[in-house]
Amino acid sequence: MKTIIEPFKIKMVEPIKMTTREQRNNIVLAAGHNPFLIRAEDVLIDLLTDSGTSSMSDRQWAELMMGDESYAGSRSYFKFEETIRDITGYEYIIPTHQGRAAERILFSITTKEGDIIPNNTHFDTTRANIEYNKALALDLVTAEGRDPETRLPFKGNIDIEAVGKLLEGTSLSRIPMGMMTVTNNASGGQPVSMANIRAMSELLHSKGIPFIFDACRFAENCYFIKTREPGYEDKSLKDIAREMFSYGDGCTMSAKKDAFANMGGFLALNNKEWADKAKTLLILTEGFSTYGGLAGRDLAAIAQGLKEILEEDYMQYRVRSTAYLGDNLERVGVPTFVPAGGHAIYIDAKRMLPHIPPKHLPGQALCVELYLEAGIRAVEIGSVMFGKTDAETGDFVPGQNELVRLALPRRVYTQSHMDYIIEALENLSKRKDEIRGMQFDYEAPILRHFTSTFSWV
Ligand SMILES: *Cc1c(COP(=O)(O)O)cnc(C)c1O
């Protein structure tokens, strides 16, 4: 069969609300042309993020009912620990309320002022937590990985040569760890090859430096290895995951991504000294080491979700439906970051709207038009998010790219939703020359994308 179907049937539904264009006009105006300020109820299809927005399965809901809410040593914790140990092989499993809590604990106990932590591309919370400890978060993704138009299988790879140079030219006591984000969220959701992971591991370990994964989308990365890297086609996703984690010394994880949970995360480590320090800090700010700020039922649902994410039928559907959206956008003339990543399609607003200069925020304009056209919410990843106004000169400093991310929540939307999104963007593409740029009305001093407001130029 050529048709890839959603490998589930629907047992419970959540109605979504259609709005008229006139209603959407008013909604957008009231929200200051910022999709973050629109009420979710007024959104028909919400592609703002894949984080915490997944549908849980009947089995996960059953686990919620069976959650053990004991303060210490709960049965649900041991299920959680056993499942994560089984997949990662790591010894110490520390639950946290989100991925960023795992990051904060990890960097607080390992990282000091002046340190450097290389990664393919640091996600924004990872970078922020490293910088908070006055250390440098260094992005060393390969040059191809930065180019939206090159079609290569593993554009999430780190530049091994650049890591080598860093290790040669820096006192090793300033590099507490090396990292790898799988898949590389901040860089098109692109995967990393096993060969690249192995090379990074060998290089770091030859200098005695620990290797930590940012594992938020580890299962999607494993599926790309299975389907794109020779030698892995007959291996199970779990075996691939086990091999991948075996090259590292630990990981941080947001269960809001590849664990189908609405909240949660963990830090997994092999180093006992680090784990002991992490648990002390966990107890201080998150909770006792067998719940870490989560309810017992959450731990149980995460454990079940981690088993389901490694099912091949699911992952085939997941990666194929993301590619379906990407391929069809390309067919209707909407330029995207290629090839399609695992969890999102990134529209290249710079190429789609070449008449709008970066200082008139083409990505923001496209996000607002997409909402007006069809009630779809996306997020700008361009000059609004990553650009700035120079504090001294007042000059506009653009972001590296002008992208609009369509993130796909897991097991939430069906193929007809994808067809609707494609049609909306095709309509926009046909009248793209009429789309105007935007300017700031209110420019928030930090994290501008969340609270700034805009108007048409
Ligand atoms: C989401 C994410 C995080 C942070 O996780 P939260 O649960 O949102 O705190 C870290 N790294 C990557 C790659 C992510 O996608």
pLDDT over 90 at 445, yes or no: no
Of 257, 285, 308, which marks where a domain is finished? 308
317 and 219 within one domain = no
One domain for residues 30 and 149: no
Q: How far is the CA of 214 from the centre of ligand 1 (A)?
A: 8
User: In this structure, are 342 and 379 located in the same domain?
Assistant: yes
CATH code of the domain in which 175 resides: 3.40.640.10
Together in a domain, 376 and 227: no
Is 324 part of a structural domain of the chain? yes
- Residue 274 burial (10 A CB sphere; 0-12, 13-18, 19+): buried
Mean pLDDT computed over 133-148: 95
* Tens of pLDDT, residues 359-392: 999 999 999 999 999 999 999 999 999 888 888 9
Between the CA of 252 and the centroid of ligand 1 the distance, in Å, is 9
31-85: per-residue pLDDT in tens? 999 999 999 999 999 999 999 999 999 999 999 999 999 999 999 999 999 999 9
The predicted structure's pLDDT at residue 39: 97
15 is a domain residue:
no
User: In ligand 1, which atom is closest to the CA atom of 98?
Assistant: 7
Q: Ligand 1, residues 51, 104, 410: which to mutate, most atoms within 8 A of Cβ?
A: 51
Q: What is the mean pLDDT of residues 2-26?
A: 95
Among 270, 293, 308, identify where a domain stops: 308
Ligand 1 center–CA 393 separation, angstroms:
34
Same domain as 362, residue 252: no
**Does residue 16 sit within a domain?**
no
| Interval between CA 340 and ligand 1 midpoint (Å) | 20
Domain that holds residue 431: 21-50+312-456
Look up the CATH number of the domain holding residue 332: 3.90.1150.10
Ligand 1 centroid vs 253 CA: distance in angstroms?
Answer: 7
Q: Which residue CA neighbors atom 5 of ligand 1 most closely?
A: 99
Q: Which atom belonging to ligand 1 lies closest to the Cα atom of 265?
A: 7
**Statement: residue 446 has pLDDT above 80:** no
Ligand 1: residue of 49, 123, 262, 302 to mutate (most ligand atoms within 8 A of CB) is: 123
User: 82 and 179 share a domain?
Assistant: yes
Q: Which mutation among 121, 185, 214, 254 tests ligand 1's pocket best, with the greatest number of atoms within 8 A of CB? A: 254
* Cβ 320 vs Cβ 168: under 8 Å: no
Q: 340 and 201, same structural domain?
A: no
Per-residue pLDDT tens for 203-234? 999 999 999 999 999 999 999 999 999 999 99
Which atom of ligand 1 is the closest one to the Cα of 52? 7
211 pairs with which residues across the strands? 178
Q: What is the 371 CA–ligand 1 centroid distance (Å)?
A: 25
Q: What is the mean pLDDT of the chain?
A: 96
308, 323, 350 — which closes off a domain?
Answer: 308
147 and 28 within one domain? no
Determine, yes or no, domain membership for 389: yes
**Domain check: are 285 and 316 in the same one?**
no
What number is the average pLDDT over the span 437-449? Answer: 91
Nearest C-alpha neighbor of 422 from the set 322, 355, 339, 353 = 322
Residue 236 lies in a domain: yes
Residues 68 and 81 in one domain: yes
Question: Residue 115 falls within a domain, yes or no?
Answer: yes
Quick one: 249 and 277 in the same domain?
yes
Contact (Cβ atoms closer than 8 angstroms) between residue 442 and residue 21: no
Q: What is the pTM of this model?
A: 0.96
Q: At what angle do helices 58-65 and 296-308 cross, to 10 degrees?
A: 160
Confidence of residue 2 (pLDDT cuts 50, 70, 90): confident
* 266 lies in some domain: yes
pLDDT of residue 186: 87
How far is residue 226 CA from its own chain's centroid? 20
CA 128 – CA 311 distance, rounded (Å): 33
Residue 9 falls within a domain, yes or no?
A: no
Query: DSSP state, 124?
Result: H
Give the residue from 95, 48, 8, 10 showing the smallest Cα distance to 301.
95
C-alpha dihedral (425, 426, 432, 435), degrees to nearest 10: -40
Sign of the CA dihedral running 214, 219, 222, 224: negative
Residues 161, 105: one domain?
yes
How many structural domains comprise the chain? 2
For 243-263, how does the pLDDT look when each residue is reduced to its tens digit (9 = 90+)? 999 999 999 999 999 999 999
CA of 217 to the centre of ligand 1 (A): 9
Q: Which atom of ligand 1 is nearest to the CA of 185?
A: 13
Q: Contact at 8 Å (CB) between 139 and 122? A: yes
